[in-house]
Amino acid sequence: MGKNKLKRFAENATFDHVFQPVQKELVEVDHEMKGKWHSFFKNDHPITLELGCGGGEYTVDLAKRYPERNYIGIDIKGARLWKGARIAYDEKLTNIAFIRTRIHNITSFFNQEDGIDELWITFPDPQPREGKSKKRLTSLALLEKYREFAHKNCIVHLKTDSRFLFDYTLHEVIKAEGLKLHTMSEDVYQDYNSGPLVEVQTFYEKIWLKDGLKIHYLQFTLFP
């Protein structure tokens, strides 16, 4: 393991806004913050989750744009998550938290008392192999997990470079489940001139854009 990773892991442990539970413990017991996130943020503002947040680009940018909301970025990669956590610390952003965990453990952290009404899924692994379908962050199996804690009016944003994941989510999830589709774009940089969709770019998104890949977007309801 590189020195930079070790340094970032150590620094994550010093941040009050970063939560890094032992993964095995979540199998038997819920995290202590479940149902208590308003006490951490010291307000009752609604919460947005960024699932698979990577470096937390969206978590940080959205928190700056919308201080009347709280934001939690979730990723299993602590060295990536450190980037957003460090920015939040340096800029004294009080409406941000990060959790290092796998998405399949997400119900150990939240319930409906937490006020979650928005999910951002930014460039997740599309998991194209049929045997991996349940691991797709927009799979029906994971949507059922999100429904255990999210509010009935919860909105999901999917931003992806994968045409496969875009088509799968549109046809096999949104249409098959009778979910309301609010917005669809096959090329956000053609359809949008401003706003988070084009003004926030992840590390890998910048690379994909240089390679000429189109970026797709879906916004839909979580509940039928």
Instruction: Look up residue 185 and give its amino acid.
Output: S
The two beta strands, 155-160 and 70-75, are unpaired
Residue 48, beta-bridge partner list: 71, 118
Q: Which residues of 78-92 are buried (b: 16+ CB within 10 A; e: fewer)?
A: bbbbbbbbbbbbeee
In the residue annotation, 125 being an active-site residue is answered as: yes
The two beta strands, 216-221 and 116-122, are unpaired
Q: Report how many helices (DSSP H) and strands (DSSP E) the chain contains, helices first.
A: 10, 8
Catalytic residue among 16, 114, 125, 161: 125
Classify the C-alpha dihedral 107-109-115-121 as positive or negative: negative
Mind telling me the catalytic residues? 125
